[in-house]
């Protein structure tokens, strides 16, 4: 029942105020302060949802629930079932930092400490949560700038991506690629020299990324390939990234191989990577006129193009 009430609260400030005035949200405080770790976990998950809209955040501040979450954050290592509760706490503060990056990373340094520790957890699922939280904070322009100001406190987390992309489960690799793509994505209008320097610097923290992506796009695992295309498209959208893609041995040929993808989603995702490279007009300088022309033809033919092989009958057949 309480989860339904929280969902209603997210609809508007009026809904939240009405339910709070009727004391229907009071159980949240009880659950958050209980000694039962499962109840605490349930409360944290509900507060993650409630913190998403601005009016929900204001209510958390005025009701003392935010203060309760800060107490949990500060004492997270000593909580019963800490490994189960901490990811939810970090998601909560990650949502706050997504909307108010500088305020949160400055006001709650323990949040960053826990993020770094979880990013280096031997558990791929826990490490994925930490990196997804970092990426969520850095998805916005303000978030990228706030994270860039942290220096080594952030790069320690990014360094973990290399291991997740190389030596872990398929699910963890997919999550790592999605997180990496969200972190370094830059829209064209935001591509100043300083911000391009930031995203390239983060990319350089994960050596061998392009070589691994080149392997993944050839493998028979659609979910991995789609995640790789997403990251490649982000790279191809920035000048330094396009040069990386074009300079990776075998990458261009692999991307233009139409025999790999059978589903439309994969065909379109692969085509968009090549389109992003071609649109820049830089390919000829890196790979030469012949390959540039082949890429342009690939783009003109579209993502769903199928080459028809004609068969010529010979006498006596």
Quick one: tokens of 108? 């709650």
Residue at 9 is within a domain: no
pLDDT in tens, 249-259: 889 888 998 88
Q: Residue 132 — very low, low, confident or very high, per pLDDT cuts 50/70/90? A: very high
Q: Quote the distance between the C-alpha of residue 76 and its chain's center.
A: 24
pLDDT at residue 312 above 60? no
Residue at 244 is within a domain: yes
pLDDT at residue 17 above 90? yes
For the chain, give the mean pLDDT.
Answer: 88
* Stretch among 70-74, 84-88, 169-173, 313-317 having the lowest mean pLDDT: 313-317
Residue at 187 is within a domain: no
Q: At a CB cut-off of 8 Å and minimum separation 6, what does 197 contact?
A: none
- State the average pLDDT over residues 110-120: 89
Q: Residue 309 — very low, low, confident or very high, per pLDDT cuts 50/70/90? A: low
Do residues 155 and 203 make contact, with C-beta atoms less than 8 angstroms apart? no
Residue at 222 is within a domain: yes
Domain count, the chain: 1
Residue at 236 is within a domain: yes
* Stretch among 77-81, 141-145, 286-290, 299-303 having the lowest mean pLDDT: 77-81
Range of the domain at 291: 209-299
Residue at 121 is within a domain: no
The closest of 200, 208, 203, 224 to 163, measured between CA atoms, is 208
- State the average pLDDT over residues 120-145: 91
Integer Rg of the chain from CA = 24
Percent of the chain with pLDDT over 70: 97
pLDDT of residue 38: 85
């Amino acid at each position: 029942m309480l989860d339904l009430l929280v969902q209603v609260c997210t609809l508007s400030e009026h809904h939240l105020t009405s339910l709070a005035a009727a004391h229907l949200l009071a159980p949240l405080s009880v659950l958050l302060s209980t000694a039962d770790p499962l109840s605490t976990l349930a409360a944290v998950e509900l507060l993650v949802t409630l913190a998403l809209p601005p009016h929900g955040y204001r209510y958390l501040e005025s009701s003392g629930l935010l203060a309760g979450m800060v107490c949990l954050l500060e004492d997270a290592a000593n909580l019963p079932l800490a490994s189960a509760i901490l990811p939810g706490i970090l998601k909560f503060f990650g949502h706050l930092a997504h909307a108010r990056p500088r305020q949160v990373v400055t006001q709650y340094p323990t949040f960053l400490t826990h993020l770094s520790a979880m990013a280096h957890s031997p558990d791929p699922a826990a490490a994925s949560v930490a990196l997804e939280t970092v990426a969520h904070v850095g998805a916005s322009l303000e978030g990228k700038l706030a994270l860039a100001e942290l220096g080594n406190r952030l790069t320690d987390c990014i360094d973990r991506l290399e291991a997740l992309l190389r030596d872990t489960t398929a699910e963890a690799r997919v999550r790592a690629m999605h997180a990496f793509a969200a972190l370094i994505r830059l829209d064209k209008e935001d591509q100043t020299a300083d911000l391009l320097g930031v995203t390239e610097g983060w990319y350089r923290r994960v050596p061998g990324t392009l070589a691994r992506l080149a392997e993944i796009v050839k493998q028979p695992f659609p979910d991995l390939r789609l995640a790789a295309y997403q990251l490649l498209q982000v790279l191809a959208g920035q000048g330094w990234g396009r040069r990386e893609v074009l300079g990776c041995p075998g990458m261009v040929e692999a991307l233009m191989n139409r025999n790999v993808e059978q589903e439309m989603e994969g065909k379109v995702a692969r085509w968009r990577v090549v389109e992003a490279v071609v649109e820049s007009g830089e390919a000829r300088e890196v790979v030469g006129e012949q390959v540039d022309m082949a890429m342009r033809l690939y783009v003109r033919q579209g993502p769903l193009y199928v080459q028809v092989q004609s068969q010529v009958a010979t006498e006596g057949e």
